[in-house]
Amino acid sequence: MIFMRNTILSKEKLSEDVCSFIVEHPEIASHYEPGQFVIVRIHEKGERIPLTIVDADARRGTIRLVVQAVGLTSRLMNELNQGDRLLDLLGPLGEPFHLPQNAEKVLFVGGGLGIAPLYPKVKDFKYESHVILGAKDARHLILQKEMSAAAGRLELCTDDGSLGRKGFVTDCMDMLFSQGEIYDACVAIGPLVMMKAVVEKNRAKGLPTFVSLNPIMVDGTGMCGGCRFEYDGEVKFACVDGPVFDGFKVNFHDLLVRSRQYEKHECRALSHYQERQHK
């Protein structure tokens, strides 16, 4: 049913500022492979933002998107409801990611909103999965129930100790390593600083680590170069060369600097929006 494309079929609130959407788009659903993302535009004057595809159901022709209200567009998106349509939805973009064939025991590390795209990877992994999830507090730790059903072992931590251990995901990693756990690979998805810390820890152990990047993008098809960064001494575009990369080769400094490019504009866009709301 082509006329239904882009329609929000259901919406679920996962936490104070995180919503999960099931959106109809048969072509994206049937071509999706793990690791891929979409570009979304909400209204006629809106910007294009990338969102990781959390899950897809080819039979029903739907995809699942999880959105945390941080910037203007993600806030506007979370105000949408069942029956509303996304103005533009492009995908599936980026290269698919599959864990190495020989990986039989994998450590999955998710931080904040990164837990959402991590979930299908845990769910689809057939062998032994250990999962560490971190968030700033209990209210921001999403998909806990789904993860505990999918994971072989689940460790939780929060910055304030309101759920699980008090501390960072790297503290949980230390704990697992000290218990003698040995992994074939690690997948880390979350804020840049978290992924950087995980990569540094694993680099010392030689544990292959894959990270999923989500930098600022415009077209998402390799045309503008806005998402470029240094990777193994070369320039890569996260949109068409990634978004999943070998963490050891990623120049996180580049990404951290570039992630702050539009900080001031983002604040201004939000305050402009709030002014309009008041009027």
Q: Under the criterion CB under 8 A, does residue 72 sit at the interface with another protein?
A: yes
Q: Under the criterion CB under 8 A, does residue 222 sit at the interface with another protein?
A: yes
Q: How far is CA 17 from the centre of its chain?
A: 15
Least distance between another protein and beta carbon 46 (Å): 5
Distances (CA, A) of 244 to 145, 161, 239: 25, 30, 10
DSSP per position, 61-113: TEEEEEEE--SHHHHHHHT--TT-B-SEEEEEES------TT--EEEEEEEGG
**Window of 26-34, 137-145, 167-175, 180-188 that interacts with another protein by CB under 8 A:** 26-34
Q: Which of 98, 136, 166, 268 binds another protein (CB under 8 A)?
A: 268
Nearest to 172 by CA among 151, 145, 184, 154: 154
Which residue, 55 or 241, is less far from another protein as judged by CB?
Answer: 241
DSSP 46: P
Q: Under the criterion CB under 8 A, does residue 230 sit at the interface with another protein?
A: yes
Least distance between another protein and beta carbon 38 (Å): 9
Q: Which of 93, 169, 188, 189 binds another protein (CB under 8 A)?
A: 93
Q: Under the criterion CB under 8 A, does residue 84 sit at the interface with another protein?
A: no
Distances (CA, A) of 198 to 64, 98, 142, 149, 248: 27, 19, 20, 24, 10
Contact residues toward another protein (CB under 8 A) are 27-28, 31, 41, 45-48, 72-73, 87-93, 218-219, 221-226, 228-230, 235, 240, 254, 257-258, 260-262, 265-266, 268-269, 272-273
